[in-house]
Amino acid sequence: MNISLPETLKSFVDEQVAGRGYGTSSEYVRELIRDDQDRQQLRGLMLAGASSAPTKAVDEAYFDDLRQRVRQRAVG
């Protein structure tokens, strides 16, 4: 895959590669793509959560029970 960039964007990419420890511009672009994938996945999860049915309120007892279950799994 080849990507054409105007000189201003190419200079920016070159600065990022040099200043942030990337070996090549391809490494930089791959990280941008992975970050975008992560953002899209998180957005999807948030939209799914926002459209899901409400549950009961989370209170101190909920977190106490959750801590207890985690402790039990860690021990046994």
Q: Has residue 23 been placed in a domain?
A: yes
Parent domain of 18? 7-75
Number of domains forming the structure of the chain: 1
Question: For 45-57, what is each residue's pLDDT tens digit?
Answer: 999 999 999 988 8
Q: What is the pLDDT of residues 2-45, one digit of tens each?
A: 999 999 999 999 999 999 999 999 999 999 999 999 999 999 99
Residue 49 included in any domain: yes
CB distance 17 to 25 below 8 Å: yes
d(CA 38, CA 16): 20
Residue 66 lies in a domain: yes
- What is the spatial distance between Cα 44 and Cα 37, in angstroms, rounded to a whole number? 11
> What three-state secondary structure class fits 16?
helix
3-state DSSP assignment of residue 69: helix
pTM of the model: 0.68
